Amino acid sequence: MTAQITARPTRPDGKAAGRSRLVPGLLMVPPLLLFGALVLAVALFVYRAFAPGVTGESGVVEAIGAGALDSFYWAAMLRTVLVSLGAAILSCLISLLVASALVMVDRRAVTAATMALLFSPLVVSMAVRGYGWLLILDQPPVARSLDAAGSLLGFLGVTPGLLATVLVLAHAMMPITAFPLIGRMREIHGLQVNRAARDLGAGAARVFLRVTVPLAAPTALRVGGLAFGLAMGAFGIPAIIGRGRVQVVSELVYQNLLAVDWPTAFVRLAVLLLVTAVVVTPMFALAKRLGLRTAPRREKAA
């Protein structure tokens, strides 16, 4: 007869427990300091924006009355929304095609090289990327193609500079849209639904449009909304690629800040955030609804 010995869990002593709580607290100090500095900067910005102006009223009220939201601003807002939407849609489309191709090829070397190329916009300076793109866009074949596209879409107010800005912004958003879509495409490939559709006689194009795209739509909407929000605040790329001919809201705000016009800058930024929320919120709501619809249904246990 053998006695069964059970090990009792050892409790950490007071010093070890205190040390285990101290380390996470120390790690939280730098992000808390950064967050506090951000909150302080925003609070100071709001205080200066709402400070009484020349007439004694709030600076924001005076800025609105002085034309902070004039027709020129709304034209820049419309241009900003169009550029951001175009960049988000183009980036999602390219990312979806790249993700599909990587899943179909399924080669580690190809996947690693593609991942490195997709990640490159995050490790290269925005100015270097912008001026590098200028060298490409100034090549005669590329310039002629942009001019032709601008002529075809000229009735919509589209110019070659605006198209070039959309293209470069889409490239900048590729790391945000590509990596989640690549992960989602791998999940779809693991479900074997594409193979089942092909076994039932569906062609490659029909499988992609009727099976792959609906399953990847929730992820595409989420990353597209994130890319749109980031593109709405983009400053460097529109300034470099647009060469002063593609005025976006961020450039107007920058000019107000240079002129120390805090109230006008605050009003224009607030409206920019509001417009961004109005566009992004339905995208995330639709992504949630589509995600619930395309999620696999679990049968109830008997």
The dihedral formed by the CA atoms of 159, 171, 234 and 155, expressed in degrees to the nearest 10: 20
Residue 157 CB: number of other CB atoms within 10 A? Answer: 11
Q: Which pair of structure tokens corresponds to residue 243?
A: 């060469």
Q: Is 58 exposed, middle or buried, given 0-12, 13-18 or 19+ CB atoms closer than 10 A?
A: middle
The pLDDT assigned to 56 comes to 65
Q: Quick check: 163 and 241 in contact, CB under 8 A?
A: no
Residue 253 CB: number of other CB atoms within 10 A? Answer: 21
Task: Give the predicted TM-score (pTM) of the model.
Answer: 0.82
The dihedral formed by the CA atoms of 21, 24, 30 and 33, expressed in degrees to the nearest 10: -50
pLDDT tens track of the chain, all 302 residues? 455 555 555 555 555 555 667 777 788 888 889 989 988 988 888 888 888 866 667 778 878 877 778 888 899 999 999 999 999 999 999 999 898 888 888 888 888 888 888 888 888 888 888 888 999 988 889 889 988 988 888 887 788 889 999 999 999 999 999 999 998 888 887 777 777 777 777 777 777 778 788 888 899 999 999 999 999 998 889 989 988 888 899 999 999 989 888 888 899 999 999 999 999 999 999 998 887 776 655 444 33
Q: Quick check: 237 and 165 in contact, CB under 8 A?
A: yes
Point out which residues pair with 52 in neighbouring strands. 58
Q: Which residues contact 222 (CB under 8 A, 6 or more apart)?
A: 180, 283, 284, 287
- Which phi and psi (to 5°) does residue 236 adopt? -65, -45
Residue 230 CB: number of other CB atoms within 10 A? Answer: 17
The yes or no reply on domain 73-294 and CATH 1.10.3720.10 is yes
Q: Quick check: 220 and 92 in contact, CB under 8 A?
A: yes
Q: Quick check: 87 and 230 in contact, CB under 8 A?
A: no
From the list 118, 238, 223, the residue with the least C-alpha distance to 167 is 238
The rounded Cα 244 to chain-centroid distance in angstroms is 24
Q: What residue segments make up the domains of the chain, in order of their start? A: 30-66, 73-294
Q: What is the DSSP string of 148-202?
A: HHHHHTGGGT--HHHHHHHHHHHHHTHHHHHHHHHHHHHHHHHHTHHHHHHHTT-
Residue 167 CB: number of other CB atoms within 10 A? Answer: 20
- Which phi and psi (to 5°) does residue 214 adopt? -60, -35
Helix (H, G, I), strand (E, B) or coil at 221: helix
The dihedral formed by the CA atoms of 231, 234, 240 and 246, expressed in degrees to the nearest 10: 70
